[in-house]
Structure 1
Amino acid sequence: MYLGDEAWPDLESYFESESLALVPLGSTEQHGPHLPEATDHLIGEAFARAVADRTGYLCTPTINIGVSGHHRQFHGTMWVEPPAFRQYMESLTRNLTSHGIDRVIYVNAHGGNVPHLREVGARLRQDEVAYAIEWMWNDSIPELVDDLFEQNGPHGGPKETALIQYLEPALVHDDRLEEARDTGIPDVEAAETIKHGSRTFYDAADNTDNGVLGDQTDATAAKGVQLFEAASDQLVQLCEWLAAQKFEDLMPREHV
């Protein structure tokens, strides 16, 4: 069920019987010369909408702009500062609790959002108002990602390319895949910005001139289908697990 499609009287029965919501998130940021800036939020929304259709759980509108300041040197990247993002996500989640939602899955497709969503979730749990957890598609199927790609990225690499080839093929510049590979870097180690155990880089531009890593020519829409179906299955199972938990069992323990 997609919240934005429903009239308010028709949502009453959902809130009376269910307490789980999916909140898709991503970013609007550079993804190299071959992928759209919408890449992350297109992926997050696709997973959330598909799983909501399969399970009947509620899917909210998508958060399209996240913590992406580390991509700011590339044209068109949009971002919000981390404190503003955390405040917004906490406020949005507390809004859902006013309707009876007490467990939330942030269906997130942007790595820069992860620590901030974890912080928001921890705060909401500590206040015992909601149990909110972050889910990233590639973290749910790491073995498949490794099996499909020799150099999987992470950013703007073949795994994201394959998903967009499947989800939104018209937005992929397939004629630029070799350029993306040849003017980028295979992985962070190749950038030589890890010095004596220290990550000396802060921005994507410190590592890669074109903004991406990996071998984009290894991507195909068929691989995108495999990724999407496998990760969707994982998200369905996560929804079912979370819905089955007693709320009090999700809350912090008093003492050990």
Structure 2
Amino acid sequence: MYLGDEAWPDLESYFESESLALVPVGSTEQHGPHLPEGTDHLIAEALAREAASRTGYLCTPTVNIGVSPHHRQFHGTMWVDPPVFREYMESLARNLTYHGVDRIVFVNAHGGNVQHLREVGRRLHDDGTAYALEWMWNESIPELVDDCFEVNGPHGGPKETAMIMHIAEALVHEDRLTEARDDGLVDWGRETGRQFGARTFYDAIENTDNGVLGDQTDATPEKGERLFEAATEQLCKLSEWLADRDETELLPREHV
């Protein structure tokens, strides 16, 4: 069920019987020369709406702009400052609790949002308002991501390219995949942008001139479909698990 498609009288029965909501969260930021700036929010919304369709749980409208100042040098990147993002997401979550929701899954597709969504979840948990989890799609299927691509990349790489090929193939500039790979940073790893254990970069452009990492030519719509189906299955299972929890399991523990 997608909240934005429903009339308010038709939502009453949902809130009477269910207490879980899926909230897709992404970003609007550069994803290299080959992918749309909406890559992250397109992925988040597609996964959340598909999981909602399969499970019957509620999917809210998507939060399209997140914490992305580290991509600001590239044309069109949009962002809000971290404190503003956290306050907005907490306010949105508390809005849902007004209608009876006390379990929330932030269906996230942007790494820059992770720590802030976790902090929002902690705030809501600490005062017993709601139990909110941050869920990042690729972290739910790490083995499959590794199996699909010889050289993956955490941003604008083959996994995101494949997902958009599956979700919205018309938005992919397939004639620029080789350019994306050759002008980006293909060989990256744990030590990229680090010296003696310290992270030495703040902005994406300090690591990659065109904003992307990995080998984009390794992406295909078929791989994207495999990733999408596997991640959706994980999200459905998480939703069912959370919905089945007794309320007492989700409340903060008493001081020892």
Q: TM-score, normalised by structure 1?
A: 0.98
Query: Residues 190 and 24 from structure 1, CA distance in 2 versus in 1: closer, same or farther, beyond 3 angstroms?
Result: closer
Paired residue for 2:177? 177
Residue 245 of structure 1 is matched in structure 2 by 245
Q: Which amino acid aligns with 1:62?
A: T
Q: Is 1:32 the equivalent of 2:32?
A: yes
1:101 maps to amino acid: V
For 2:189 and 2:138, the matched residues in 1 are separated by: 20
1:151 Cα deviation after fit: 1.3
Aligned equivalent of 1:69: 69
- The 3 A distance-change label for structure 1 pair 147 and 210 is same
Distance 2:251 2:113 in 1: 23
Q: CA deviation at 1:42?
A: 0.1
Whether the aligned pair in 2 keeps the contact of 1:188 and 1:207 (CA below 8 Å) is: no
Trace 1:201-240 onto structure 2 (pairs within 5 A).
201-240=201-240
**Structure 1 stretches of at least 4 aligned residues deviating more than 4 Å after TM superposition:** none
Q: How large is the RMSD of aligned CA atoms in angstroms?
A: 1.1
Match of 1:47? 47
User: Is the contact between residue 26 and residue 64 of structure 2 (CA under 8 Å) also seen in structure 1?
Assistant: yes
Q: Partners in 2 of 1:95 and 1:247 — Cα distance?
A: 19
CA distance in 2, matches of 1:87, 1:187: 37
Structure-1 separation of matches of 2:78 and 2:199: 24
Asked whether the 8 Å contact 2:188–2:214 carries over to 1, the reply is: no
User: SS in structure 2 opposite 1:23?
Assistant: strand
Structure 1 spans left out of the alignment, 5+ residues: none
Counting only pairs closer than 5 Å after superposition, residues 140-159 of structure 1 correspond to structure 2 as 140-159=140-159
> Which residue of 2 is the match for residue 15 of structure 1?
15
Residues of 2 paired with 1:188 and 1:217: CA distance?
16
The share of aligned pairs that are identical, in percent, is 74
In the alignment, what sits opposite 2:116? 116
Offset, 1:251 = 1.5
The answer to whether the Cα contact below 8 Å between 1:191 and 1:207 also exists between their aligned partners in 2 is no
CA contact (8 A) 2:44 2:108 kept: yes
Q: Deviations over 1:108-130 (max 9, x none)?
A: 00000000000000000001000
Residue 80 (structure 1) aligned with residue 80 (structure 2): yes
Report deviation, 1:105: 0.1
CA displacement at 1:192 relative to structure 2:
4.8
Deviations 1:139-197 (A, max 9, x none): 00000000001111010000000000011000000000000000001254498521111
**Partner AA of 2:157 in structure 1:** G
Contact 2:148/2:223 (8 A) holds in 1: yes
Residues 123/192 of structure 1: CA separation in 2 closer, same or farther (3 Å cut): closer
Gaps of 5+ in 2: none
Output the amino acid matched with 1:35: L
Q: Distance in 2 between matches of 1:14 and 1:254?
A: 32
Q: Deviations over 1:66-109 (max 9, x none)?
A: 00000000000000000000000000000000000000000000
Cross-structure match for 1:255: 255
Residue in 2 that maps onto 1:168:
168
State the 1:211 CA deviation.
0.2
SS at the partner of 1:104?
strand
Q: Is the 8 A contact 2:184 2:208 kept in 1?
A: yes
Aligned length: 256
TM-score normalised to structure 2 length: 0.98
Which residue identity is paired with 2:249? Answer: D
CA positional deviation for 1:245: 0.3
Q: Does the CA-based 8 Å contact 1:31-1:39 persist in structure 2?
A: yes
Distance in 2 separating the partners of 1:150 and 1:161:
14
